[in-house]
Chains A and B, each alone.
Chain A
Amino acid sequence: MEQDTISAKYNELKEKGLLSLYPKGIKITVGMSTCGIVAGADKTYETFGQGLSDLNLEARLTKTGCLGLCEEEPLVYILVEGKGRYIYGRIGPGDVYALLSGLKNKKIPKQNLLCKVREDKPLLGGAVNIEELKQGIELFEPPGLQDIKALPFFARQMKIATRNSGLIDPISLEEYVAMGGYEALKKALLMDPEDIIETVMLSGLRGRGGAGFPTGAKWHLTRQSEGKEKYVICNADEGNPGAYMDRSILEGDPFSVLEGMTIGGYAMGAQKGIIYLREEYPLAASILNEAIKRAMDQGFLGEHILGGDFSFHIEVIKGHRAYVCGEETALIASIEGKMGEPRPRPPFPTEKGLHGRPTCINNVQTWAYVPPIIALGHEWFRSIGTEYSKGTKVFSVVGDVQKSGVVEIPMGTPIGDIVNGICGGPGPWGLKAVEMGGPGGGFLPVSLVNMPVSYEGLLEVGAALGAGLVVLGQNRCMVDMALHFMEFAVKESCGKCLPCREGTLEILRILRDIAEGRGVLADLRVLEDLSTALKYASLCGLGQTAPNPIMSALKYFKEEFLAHISHKFCPAGVCKGLFRVKIDRYNCNNCGECMIVCSNQAISKTNNGYDIDVIKCNGCGNCIYICPIKAIKPIRNED
């Protein structure tokens, strides 16, 4: 295709996209990613459809992905021509009619209104001032509305990989192009493949899948490897418990990943791309397949991309329901139809990967960064972040935190800013630790919570950057947490190599002993020896990093382990049998909550206040954590 023809094609798509992004009149958009649907967004969407026709209101009804504010799902966006976009949280089917009647009466309803968006500033496209768009509709807007930029949740974020999520219709190629999508591919196809790799290398982009390998270097190795046929793979297995940022990107902006892979395919000389998708992500699968189809229809994928010589196909392959299949060599084995087990490296996949051919495997986020880097240049990306960690990082933040969700922050942001600033702080029990890196990561105590996010920094303190971020309140017991992570490792160990198969099991046995009051001091040394063996001897990353949670727990919360071992006491009141509960009658306000949550009816009301029957108490700990004034405390059995 001539450049002119291509430009015309882009303009046409862009125009269509802008028209559906900013239509005339009113547009109602429902966040329909998995997080939204889990909160009931599909019912909300249906009800909107019904309501619009019932009330005879004219408005477009569309879907979008996840904006990150998962706590407030189902999210509804009401775009009013010439006024702005109003974001509503927690809109169940019951709230729909009230909302619609408000609109019908020319009012912006206040109920559940979170904020207003006055301007969209797409990373790759020109800014769109919604308030100035066209002539507009006259609607009454409640005074003092907060702008989205003033919300703490968004103010500190910087959206690159999640730039389009929650903004565009995920499967609308036109809207993607209107947001500056596929500009990078157009540019890349005019570049020398080596220059693309150089750009990626200079950008400082490192893999977001965990190990943080420099992406440009991996691309370079793949390109250099002998062989006509090569593969690029998107690792979308996302098996870390609690992590779902990759899913959020795939469901919210599939084209960004497709575009990134296509650019990578061109740069490395690959003809085929594979998205290895976690089996439990059916919505992402259907969105991706639809996006692939549309990209092919429009010539952005398939034979002769944009009319040129380069042809590239992408296929979605379902994962094998095992955490270890996220490890690159196990992932390859699994695609080849073999048992999903890792094999020793070298040879590395870049040299001998899928079907023995050079293969470049990158994480979902890593691919999503590629288009902006190519479009805006390596210097722009380099300017964000720390010395060795460039750009932004997407986290799913879950656990004992006020606003869980998906956030994207520049590298170097203090972890505390994410927890307290963006996500509204820990739950009522205060912060105890933050877990970063999932089953291969570690716990950071409060004293380290203000350290900046970076590969190098986290590695030094025993955590990692691959998974999400789990916030743990004071009500958590670190022995118990370490035990949970070890249970996961035992369950997910493939069993191929001896250290991981037997070692994780032995660590778990010892942790159980400690949690159940049978621990002895010598156990701590054995735990360290076992951890050393796992770290140095395991065949793959699963075993090598499996001891990290327990190592960091031992490092930062040793006194808690000692209390379990020496005093047979669980200070957090979690490990059954290792504590007794006591009500502080002096402070008790007699609210009675404890009696309601007691799992064995051991709490009764007496003339002097509430009383716990020590014999009946089964140590569930519910009362400790329900008490609004913390008047119930775990104490040692003998106290």
Chain B
Amino acid sequence: MAKTISIDMREFEFDAGETVLSVAKRNGIFIPTLCYHEALKPYGACRLCLVEVLEGDKPGLHASCLLSAKQGLVVLTVSDLVLKVRGVLIQLLLKRYPKEKSLMDIAKACGIEDSISTLTGEHQEKACLLCGRCVRACEEMGRSVIGFVSRGSERAVDAPIGSHKECLGCRACENVCPTGVVRFSLHDGVIKNDLWDITVDMAVCPICGRSFATVPLIDKVKTELEALSEAISMCPACRRAELLKRICV
């Protein structure tokens, strides 16, 4: 018999190693998230994804993005406690970033709309919500160019001087940013990120003269390829898989 967990009084099957968040998502049960991103390792810092465990683990609130599904686990995604705590967390965010559009979407999805009207006018400002997705993307896929600096309410994401030139320009950070505050823009011959003051040279196609990727990225692929001369003997599918593996670590 397949193993199941109970979410909001319904039973669901789960795969080995799956988290409660993943089981819920797969079955169309809404749990708000902010720091979670399917391409990254879970981080457990925004705490929006809290669910209440009734049985099968320590009773109380757990971050569902980290909570492993296991036989006999009984959780609620909506309970008095979850709603209360989630409400406070979203209000705290709204208070700090009153004009952030992505935040309002989360608030709306959670049914917290009344306070929004009293808080804001337009929402054009893009804000960093410190979810840390960019930092982890850079750590997991890039070169750990960016990281958190300062403590407590001064916390921010920045690229320490010196690590700037390490940036590959892979733009994974931009890709995973929930608010769009992380942005690279193309200027002549370079891509630029104003937030962290990073500039990366673009490579130019020797045939048509088009900019198509950054210099360090192409260099990286080249080195990986060289180290992969044995991959020539692999079939295209396997070669591709092998290449991808090398490039991504």
Contact = CB atoms under 8 A, between A and B. Distances in A.
A61 interface: no
Given A344-B44, A537-B50, A498 B89 contact: yes
A536 interface: yes
B240 interface: no
Q: Which of B45, B50, B147 has the most CB of A within 10 A?
A: B45
B178 to A, nearest CB: 13
Interface string A59-96: 00000000000000000000000000000000000000
B130 interface: yes
B160 interface: no
Contact of A494 (B81, B85, B95, B151): B151
Contact of A495 (B88, B95, B154): B154
A198 interface: no
A532 interface: yes
B155 interface: yes
Nearest to B97: A502
A179 B57 CA distance: 47
Contacts of B61: 536-537
Q: Size range of the interface on B? A: 20 to 34
Interface in B1-60: 34, 44-48, 50, 60
A189 interface: no
B84 A503 contact: no
B84 A497 contact: no
A221 to B, nearest CB: 15
Interface string B142-173: 00000110111111000000000000000000
Interface stretch (A170-178, A264-272, A485-493): A485-493
A533 B63 contact: no
A339 interface: yes
A501 interface: yes
A506 interface: yes
B66 interface: yes
Contacts of A536: 50, 60-61, 81, 85
B195 interface: no
Most interface-central of A339, A502, A532 (chain B CB within 10 A): A502
Contacts of A322: 151
**Which of B47, B95, B154 has the most C-beta atoms of chain A within 10 angstroms of its own C-beta?**
B47
Contacts of A343: 44
A503 B153 contact: no
Question: Which of A493, A498, A502 has the most C-beta atoms of chain B within 10 angstroms of its own C-beta?
Answer: A498
B244 interface: no
A497 B151 contact: no
A530 B48 CA distance: 14
Contacts of B47: 497-499, 537-539
A559 interface: no
B63 A499 contact: no
A481 to B, nearest CB: 21
A490 B88 contact: no
A502 B153 contact: yes
B96 interface: yes
Nearest to B62: A344
Contacts of A492: 151-152
Contact of B151 (A493, A530, A533, A537): A493
B198 interface: no
A148 interface: no
A530 B88 contact: yes
A537 B85 contact: yes
B150 to A, nearest CB: 7
Given A339-B148, A537-B50, A495 B153 contact: yes
Interface in A507-538: 529-530, 532-533, 536-538
B93 interface: yes
Given A344-B66, A536-B61, A498 B153 contact: no
A506 B152 contact: no
B92 interface: yes
Contacts of B84: 529, 532-533
Select the residue from A339, A490, A536, A538 with max chain B CB neighbours within 10 A.
Answer: A536
Contacts of A537: 47, 50, 61, 85, 88-89
A532 B50 CA distance: 13
Nearest to A503: B92
Contact of A491 (B88, B130, B132, B152): B152
Given A533-B85, A536-B60, A501 B155 contact: yes
Contacts of A503: 88, 92
Nearest to A498: B46
A18 interface: no
Contact of B45 (A490, A496, A529): A496
Contacts of A532: 81, 84-85, 88
Contacts of A504: 152
A135 B150 CA distance: 66
A276 to B, nearest CB: 19
Nearest to B48: A498
Most buried by A among B44, B132, B147, B150: B44
Contacts of A538: 47
B45 A498 contact: yes
B93 A498 contact: yes
Contacts of B88: 499, 503, 529-530, 532-533, 537
A201 interface: no
Contacts of A490: 152-153
Nearest to A339: B148
Contacts of A497: 44-47
B100 to A, nearest CB: 13
Contacts of B95: 502, 506
A503 B47 CA distance: 12
A317 interface: no
A283 B147 CA distance: 34
A495 B155 CA distance: 6
A495 B61 CA distance: 20
A501 B95 CA distance: 13
Contacts of B96: 502
Nearest to A506: B92
Contacts of B48: 498
A491 B96 CA distance: 18
Contacts of B63: 344
Contacts of A501: 130, 152-153, 155
A344 B154 CA distance: 22
Given A502-B96, A537-B61, A495 B89 contact: no
A506 B48 CA distance: 18
Nearest to B81: A536
A494 B152 contact: yes
Contact of A493 (B60, B81, B132, B152): B152
Nearest to B60: A536
A497 B81 CA distance: 19
Contact of B92 (A344, A496, A502): A502
Contact of B130 (A339, A344, A495, A533): A495
Contacts of A217: none
A505 interface: yes
Contacts of B46: 497-498
A344 B58 CA distance: 14
A321 to B, nearest CB: 11
Contacts of B130: 495, 498, 501
Nearest to A492: B152
Nearest to A493: B152
27 contacts: A344-B44, A344-B66, A493-B152, A493-B153, A495-B151, A495-B153, A495-B154, A496-B132, A496-B155, A497-B47, A498-B46, A499-B85, A501-B153, A501-B155, A502-B92, A502-B93, A502-B95, A502-B96, A502-B153, A506-B95, A529-B84, A529-B88, A533-B85, A536-B61, A536-B81, A537-B47, A538-B47
Given A504-B152, A533-B89, 4 more contacts: A344-B44, A494-B155, A498-B46, A501-B130
Which 6 A-B pairs have CB atoms at the shortest separation, nearest pair first? A495-B155, A533-B88, A344-B44, A502-B92, A493-B152, A537-B47
Interface of A: 322, 339, 343-344, 490-499, 501-506, 529-530, 532-533, 536-539
